[in-house]
Amino acid sequence: MPVTKTIVNLLWQQRVVLACALTAAVFLVGVWHAPLIPVVIGCMAALSLKLISARRKPPRD
């Protein structure tokens, strides 16, 4: 269970990145009719890379 809490806390701290990824996905799929699966995979990859880099950084005081 602590791993889930850690992931949720990281997502909460990176909510701007999450919002940007969701906005990009909506525009790509809805407006420009891009294929859904590559867009979802790309947004998940970008979000996971940001979460990994955020997890490696020491917390600020």
Which amino acid belongs to residue 32? Answer: W
pLDDT of residue 57: 73
Q: How far apart are CA 19 and CA 27, in angstroms?
A: 12
pLDDT of residue 1: 55
The conformation of residue 32, written as its DSSP 8-state character, comes to S
Domain count, the chain: 1
Contact 42, 28 (CB under 8 A): no
The conformation of residue 38, written as its DSSP 8-state character, comes to H
45 part of a folded domain:
yes
Mean pLDDT by 10 residues, the chain (61 residues): 75 88 94 95 92 77 57
61 part of a folded domain:
no
Q: Name the token pair of 23.
A: 């906005």
Domain around 23: 2-56
* Residue 45 DSSP SS3: helix
